Amino acid sequence: MAPHAEIDTRSNNGDGPTNGHASGSTATAGNLFTVTSPNVVYTDSTIESKYTYRTTSVTAGADGRYTAVPKETLYDFKTERAVPKTGLMLVGWGGNNGSTVTAGIIANRRGLTWDTREGPRAANYYGSIVMGSTLKLGTDAATNRDVNIPFHDVLPMVHPNDLVIGGWDISGLNLAESMDRAAVLEPTLKQMVRKEMAEMRPLPSIYYPDFIAANQEDRADNILPGSKAEWAHVEKLRTDIRDFKATNGLDKVIVLWTANTERFADIIEGVNDTAENLLASIKNGHEEVAPSTVFAVASILENAPFINGSPQNTFVPGAIALAEQHNAFIGGDDFKSGQTKMKSALVDFLINAGIRLTSIASYNHLGNNDGKNLSSQRQFRSKEISKSNVVDDMVEANTVLYKPGEKPDHTVVIKYMPAVGDNKRALDEYYAEIFLGGHQTISLFNVCEDSLLASPLIIDLVLIGEMMTRIQWRSSGEGEYKSFHSVLSVLSYMLKAPLTPPGTPVVNALAKQRAALTNIFRACVGLEPESDMTLEHKLF
């Protein structure tokens, strides 16, 4: 079968097959709620809001005391209401995550129900913050109770059922065969989606053996010529993106890396430290340019947002600079699914509770292809770095418990155990000092169905990433609107090692990441952050 790089999964509201037309739908926040305020204006094409951003500026005196000054900055936000027809191109489409998220979108689009040994199960988007969670809109005027709405309904967002999916893979198996190889889904569900999945086959990808484990070589039967970076690869990937967009009548394409973890690339002056040097290094075939970086460069040049779901340093300084030059969006790194999401929540809780965490030991064993690739030390080192840095900002924020530069002992171990397949086992021990020299030990055993946790994160990253392309802002009254910075740090809730704009702090605390995402969306419709003070229940 010839390579086939797309599937149309546009929603049809249960009315049968779609007709394949290319126009996007128009949705509005007003479908569920309308903000009545002099600071909010709805037009046919935009939601425009004025938002007062309140912060506190702190200066330190020579005597060690601080002076805190409240500050207010007025911003204008403008959000496009028209929801574009959006394509998702996955690098590693035939892997566990790629085949699982594709089958999941098909199942949701068709409203499938299937039998399991535990009874019938229905398609859902559980595990997605966009599709499976709510946020507080406000307080009911009559009852004083909270009013919560689906996260997806705060702004006019793409629905995952409407995504058109395609992509690349070094393996030439069709998606039905890839789904069988992954061994993630129930056989009854696989039978329901098999016909559509069998018609999908990834486009040839690039394969540089030095960057992934040698044990992946037997999968590499669908590759473009060349074993190291070359400009022809950039041009071919750009052509693939353009063809995919044109063939499917898309308004936008988002590219997401869900392929194997690569080794870290060395940052070398004159090679990948600037945008110009990086482009020259690709053209000169330098061996320290990773496949994921080549995909990032191609996406940036096509103005297609690129998101890295693996832990390697895809976004070398030259790639970030290139994105800034082209006002293109990038985000990464590494899906934050099971163990690390628990860690970022639990450590945040312990340290904010005044408990001095002194040791974290994390042990993982898994049997999927990710585990096989990570059994190579150079690829494991990429994962170890992304998992180990997840507590740093929480520790640094508490100068009562930790001296400058002090942090808990933290070790991460990953072992490949084929028998457990995609059911990753994560064992964690948290050891802490408590009152008067006492100790507390918390042990967790977390069985994570890896791809079933990662797939909703792919959906969140794509939907939120696309939404950010339609939001612009400016200081109130100051000239033209502008987009957010090229580095989408707002995606950090879904990522283990959040990429931030150069010179800005990294936030790993899960509650802060969720609050940032929620409050940016609220600002776009002219709503203040929820303070959670609930004074209406406390003052009489």
β-partners of residue 80 are 46
Q: Residue 308: which of 455, 497, 452 has the closest Cα?
A: 497
Look up residue 62 and give its DSSP letter.
T
Q: In whole angstroms, how large is the CA radius of gyration of the chain?
A: 24
Cα separation, 103 vs 194, whole angstroms: 9
CATH superfamily of 7-16+84-335+452-524: NAD(P)-binding Rossmann-like Domain (3.40.50.720)
**Are the C-beta atoms of residues 167 and 179 closer than 8 Å to each other?**
no
Please name the amino acid found at residue 249: G
DSSP sequence for 191-259: HHHHHHHHT-BPEEB---GGGS-GGGGGG--SB-S-SS--HHHHHHHHHHHHHHHHHTT-SEEEEEE-S
- Owner of token pair 């794509």: 462
Q: Domain 339-449: give its CATH code.
A: 3.30.360.10
Look up residue 25 and give its DSSP letter.
P
> Residue 347 phi/psi, 5° resolution?
-65, -40
**Are the C-beta atoms of residues 499 and 54 closer than 8 Å to each other?**
no
Please name the amino acid found at residue 505: P
Token representation of residue 278:
């990086």
**Are the C-beta atoms of residues 35 and 527 closer than 8 Å to each other?**
yes
Kindly give, in sequence order, each residue whose CB lies less than 8 Å from that of residue 18, ignoring residues fewer than 6 positions away: 8, 10, 11, 12
Catalytic annotation, residues: 334, 383, 424, 496
Look up residue 133 and give its DSSP letter.
-
Look up residue 403 and give its DSSP letter.
-
Token representation of residue 72:
């207010």
SS3 state of residue 313: coil
Kindly give, in sequence order, each residue whose CB lies less than 8 Å from that of residue 349, ignoring residues fewer than 6 positions away: none
Cα separation, 523 vs 65, whole angstroms: 33
**Are the C-beta atoms of residues 236 and 299 closer than 8 Å to each other?**
no
pLDDT in tens, the chain (540 residues): 344 444 443 333 333 333 232 333 333 444 789 999 999 999 999 999 999 999 999 999 999 899 999 999 999 999 999 999 999 999 999 999 999 999 999 999 999 999 999 999 999 999 999 999 999 999 998 988 899 999 999 999 999 999 999 999 999 999 999 999 999 999 999 999 999 999 999 999 999 999 988 888 899 999 999 999 999 999 999 999 999 999 999 999 999 999 988 999 999 999 999 999 999 999 999 999 999 999 999 999 999 999 999 999 999 999 999 999 999 999 989 999 888 888 989 999 999 999 999 999 999 888 777 777 766 677 766 656 666 678 888 999 999 999 998 999 999 888 888 888 888 888 999 999 999 999 999 999 988 888 999 999 999 999 999 999 999 999 987 889 999 999 999 999 999 989 999 989 889 889 999 999 999 999 999 999 988 888 877 776
> Residue 444 phi/psi, 5° resolution?
-120, 140
Cα separation, 94 vs 175, whole angstroms: 6
| Parts of the chain belonging to CATH 3.30.360.10 | 339-449
- Owner of token pair 């990953």: 414
Cα separation, 106 vs 249, whole angstroms: 20
Burial degree of 14 (CB within 10 A; 0-12, 13-18, 19+): exposed
Cα separation, 196 vs 21, whole angstroms: 19
Look up residue 288 and give its DSSP letter.
T
| Parts of the chain belonging to CATH 3.40.50.720 | 7-16+84-335+452-524
